[in-house]
Structure formats: structure tokens, C-alpha cells
Amino acid sequence: MKISYDETVDALYISFIDEPKQVTTQRLSEDVAVDYGPDGEVVGIEVLAAREHIFKEEGTLKVILENLQAA
């Protein structure tokens, strides 16, 4: 697993595999998207506006991913 943060666009990305060749992205909300590999497995999660949702002092965005399958 690799976690990266791009300060320029304020996006946090969690990658579960190294360099997926092909992904399908499904937006779960305005600020959260999930990437699926060709086999339907979750290969990555992107959180936009990360400073607001994850790095703020008041609280955090809680993302629970259970039984996600490609649509």
C-alpha cells in the first residue's frame, strides 16, 4: 500500500497495488472516488479536499469501504 498527497490539488491517494494497468473510477461522493482493477478489486482510493476532510483539527472524514464491487 502506498499513500501519497498532492498539495497542488489537495488530493490524498491510497494505492493498494503498484501501477495498475487499467482502472475504472467510481465516484462515491463529491470528494471520494474508488478505482477498480479489471477484475473488480479495489486498487485505489482518492480523497479530494484532503485538508478539509482529513487534516483538519475538528475531526476527520470517515470512509468505510465494505464489499465494494465495480458497477
User: Mean pLDDT, consecutive 10-residue segments, the chain of 71 residues?
Assistant: 90 86 90 91 90 63 57 49
Kindly report the pTM of this predicted structure: 0.70
pLDDT at 44: 93
pLDDT at 21: 78
Q: Are 45 and 13 in contact (CB under 8 A)?
A: yes
pLDDT at 56: 63
CA-to-CA distance for 51 and 43, rounded, in angstroms? 23
Residue 6: in which H helix or E strand, if any? strand 2-6
User: Residues 44, 50, 56, 60: is their CA dihedral positive or negative?
Assistant: negative
What 3-state DSSP class applies to 51? helix
pLDDT at 49: 87
- Domain edges within the chain: 2-53
pLDDT at 25: 94
What 3-state DSSP class applies to 50? helix
